[in-house]
Amino acid sequence: MSATPLLELRGIDKSFGPVQVLRDVAFAAYPGEVTALVGDNGAGKSTLVKCISGIHPTDAGEFHFDGRPVSINSPRDAAALGIEVVYQDLALCDNLDIVQNMFLGREKRSGIVLDEPTMEQMAAETLAGLSVRTVKSLRQHVSSLSGGQRQTVAIAKAVLWNSKLVILDEPTAALGVAQTAQVLELVRRLADNGLAVVLISHNMNDVFAVSDRIAALYLGQMVAQVKTSDITHSQVVELITAGRSGNLGLADTGSNGTGAAPADTTPGAVR
């Protein structure tokens, strides 16, 4: 859709002590698109996300946001740019209601008291903007919500702050079929509303159902970033498990940390 990425990373390296977790990683996320980030356990997906969200500092590499070079040194920097992350555990408080959760730590005030009407209205507008119809009352406690509804609230919370890039870590893990379907539709709607969305998932159905691009990590290297319309299920599985598939992914000879630029495939090259 859009030609310029909202977020672009180049040459990201990250080590924990002697273990190099990310090696010369390049990654791009585009506005209006869902970019799926796939990879086996330990491939570096979570580390990459933590680098983007400012939790881990990177050892080397550049960040570009909206075409400008930026540095993200803390979660605050990431939030200031409009990057929000929804983690697997959702970080919601069971004993608070939906509005309180959505504004937790960033409450609106009028004078010295909380501005409840404004917060409630903003929460309602955000949920309506996402066409969420499953939540009955904004004042019900999160503990009374189903898994899918909790995920919905967590996602709405991320969207509330005029965020531009939303990263979702396994949003459908542990959900049943019907709720998975609702969350997938919500993920799609975020991107259709103009946000850049990064979806981390192990479930190939989820990836193919909503993504526009697929980025595959293999042992800390970005082996391919391709359009979802140019690749098949088995090719993605090969990229995840072997790092290459046909002419996609790592070159035959072992690369020495230089050949990990995202493979830009042309349609037709993939069959």
Partner 1 sequence: MTVAMRAGPSQDEIRRQNLGALLRYVHVRGATTRAELTTALGLNRSTIGALTADLAGAGLVSEGTPKETGRAGRPSLVVRPESARVYAYAYSIEVDRLRAARVGLGGEVLDRRELERPRNLVAGAAAPLLADAVREMHRSVPPDSICVGAGVAVCGMVRREDGLVRLSPTTGWVDEPIGAALAAELGVDVPITVGNVADVAAFAEHARGVAAGCDNVIYLYGDVGVGAGIIAGGRRLTGHGGYSGEVGHMVVVRDGMRCDCGRRGCWETEIGEHGLLRAAGRSDARGREALLAVFDAADRGDARAQTAVRQAGDWLGFGVANLVNIFNPEMVIFGGTMRDLYLAAAAQVRSRLNSNGLPACLEHVRLRTPKLGDDAALIGAAELAFERLLADPLDVG
The binding site for partner 1 (CB under 8 A) comprises: 131, 176-178, 180-181, 184-185, 188-189, 192, 204-210, 228-234, 267-268, 270-271
Q: Using the minimum distance from each CB to partner 1, give the nearer residue, 217 or 231.
A: 231
Q: What is the rounded CA–CA span in Å between residue 229 and residue 211?
A: 9
| Look-up of token digits 């379907």 | 181
In whole angstroms, the minimum distance from the beta carbon of 150 to partner 1 comes to 19
In whole angstroms, the minimum distance from the beta carbon of 267 to partner 1 comes to 4
E strands in 95-195: 109-110, 113-114, 165-169
Q: Using the minimum distance from each CB to partner 1, give the nearer residue, 50 or 213.
A: 213
| Look-up of token digits 């983690």 | 87
The answer to whether 166 touches 52, Cβ cutoff 8 Å, is: no
In whole angstroms, the minimum distance from the beta carbon of 32 to partner 1 comes to 11
Q: Using the minimum distance from each CB to partner 1, give the nearer residue, 32 or 259.
A: 32
Query: Parallel, antiparallel, or unpaired for β 19-29 and 60-65?
Result: unpaired
Q: Using the minimum distance from each CB to partner 1, give the nearer residue, 115 or 185.
A: 185
In whole angstroms, the minimum distance from the beta carbon of 209 to partner 1 comes to 3
Which residues, other chains included, contact 30 with Cβ-Cβ below 8 Å and sequence gap of 6+?
1, 2, 4, 5, 6, 196, 212, 213
Q: Using the minimum distance from each CB to partner 1, give the nearer residue, 192 or 264.
A: 192
In whole angstroms, the minimum distance from the beta carbon of 101 to partner 1 comes to 26
Beta bridge partners of 125: none
The answer to whether 167 touches 49, Cβ cutoff 8 Å, is: yes
DSSP state of 13: E
Q: What is the rounded CA–CA span in Å between residue 249 and residue 199?
A: 20
Q: Using the minimum distance from each CB to partner 1, give the nearer residue, 83 or 183.
A: 183
The answer to whether 22 touches 47, Cβ cutoff 8 Å, is: yes
Q: What is the rounded CA–CA span in Å between residue 259 and residue 269?
A: 19
In whole angstroms, the minimum distance from the beta carbon of 46 to partner 1 comes to 23
The three-point CA angle 69-73-76 to 5° equals 100
In whole angstroms, the minimum distance from the beta carbon of 34 to partner 1 comes to 11
Q: Using the minimum distance from each CB to partner 1, give the nearer residue, 37 or 210.
A: 210
